[in-house]
């Protein structure tokens, strides 16, 4: 199983912590039985961490007219809203909630130029709450397609997520289904479509990053 580079530090800390705990168990108990029990109890934690940072090998979808899901998860919002940070207009917001069991790599949903990037400090409320989009720790990325239409993608931290990583820089040329960033533990992504866009997903639908078409630029 391939692991994402963003997990290197966390995995190292967890492995060292488990080594210390299990060594202490054996040192103070002197019992191989106690050590075996401790090792068995430690295994689920290690597997959970490894699973969280997994980097699955899949064939990404490419369609220059489509907006591909930038994350694995479940669609929790489809609604018309006013986007006030950059686009400053009415948009269709589609939000994908990622549980701790989902892959947490984020992907560029379209081809285009990175027109805007900003990181916002904020709170760490549950990511499924509507107000998390404007109050939580978050980053905002705006991508402009060659046809002139713009998509705004917002990475939102959750109650457990304490670090958002974004690889986008203003002026970069983004390529659909290539890595945009990573959010550690439960979180969500908000995608803002131009008003009138065709949306192909429904509420509570499970989506796959780089695979599921959320909607179209038409």
Q: Where are the beta strands (DSSP E) in the chain?
A: 66-68, 73-83, 89-98, 105-107, 112-120, 138-144, 150-157, 164-166, 173-174, 179-183, 187-194, 206-207, 213-216
Per-residue confidence (pLDDT) for residue 218, from 0 to 100? 76
List per-residue pLDDT tens for the chain, 218 residues long.
688 888 788 889 999 999 999 999 988 898 889 999 999 999 998 988 888 788 888 889 999 999 999 999 999 999 999 999 999 999 999 999 998 888 889 999 999 999 999 998 866 565 555 655 666 788 999 999 999 999 999 999 876 656 789 999 999 999 999 999 998 766 889 999 999 999 999 999 999 999 999 999 87
Task: DSSP for 79-97, please give it.
Answer: EEEEETTTT-EEEEEEEEE
Per-residue confidence (pLDDT) for residue 7, from 0 to 100? 78
Other CB atoms closer than 10 Å to residue 14's CB: what's the count? 17
Question: Domain 66-216 adopts which CATH fold?
Answer: Glucose Permease (Domain IIA) (2.70.70)
Please tell me which residue in 42, 69, 132, 187 is annotated as part of the active site.
187
- Does the annotation mark 187 as catalytic? yes
Per-residue confidence (pLDDT) for residue 121, from 0 to 100? 84
What is the model's pTM? 0.85
Every domain of the chain and the residues it spans: 5-52, 66-216
């Amino acid at each position: 199983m391939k692991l994402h580079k963003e997990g290197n530090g966390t995995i190292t800390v967890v492995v060292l912590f488990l080594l210390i705990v299990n060594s202490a168990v054996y040192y103070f108990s002197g019992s191989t039985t106690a050590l075996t029990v401790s090792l068995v109890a430690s295994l689920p934690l290690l597997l959970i961490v490894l699973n969280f940072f997994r980097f699955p090998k899949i064939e990404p979808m490419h369609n220059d007219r489509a907006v591909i899901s930038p994350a694995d998860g479940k669609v929790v919002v489809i609604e018309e809203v006013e986007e006030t940070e950059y686009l400053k207009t009415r948009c269709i917001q589609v939000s994908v909630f990622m549980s701790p069991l989902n892959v947490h790599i984020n992907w560029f949903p379209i081809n285009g130029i990175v027109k805007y990037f900003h990181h916002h400090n904020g709170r760490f409320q549950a990511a499924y709450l509507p107000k998390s989009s404007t109050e939580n720790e978050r980053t905002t990325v705006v991508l402009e397609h060659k046809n002139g239409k713009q998509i705004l993608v917002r990475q939102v931290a959750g109650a457990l997520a304490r670090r958002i990583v974004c690889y986008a820089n203003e002026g970069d040329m983004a390529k659909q289904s290539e890595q945009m960033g990573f959010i550690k533990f439960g979180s969500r992504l908000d995608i803002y479509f131009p008003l009138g866009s065709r949306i192909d997903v429904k509420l509570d639908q499970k989506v796959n990053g780089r695979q599921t078409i959320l909607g179209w630029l038409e």
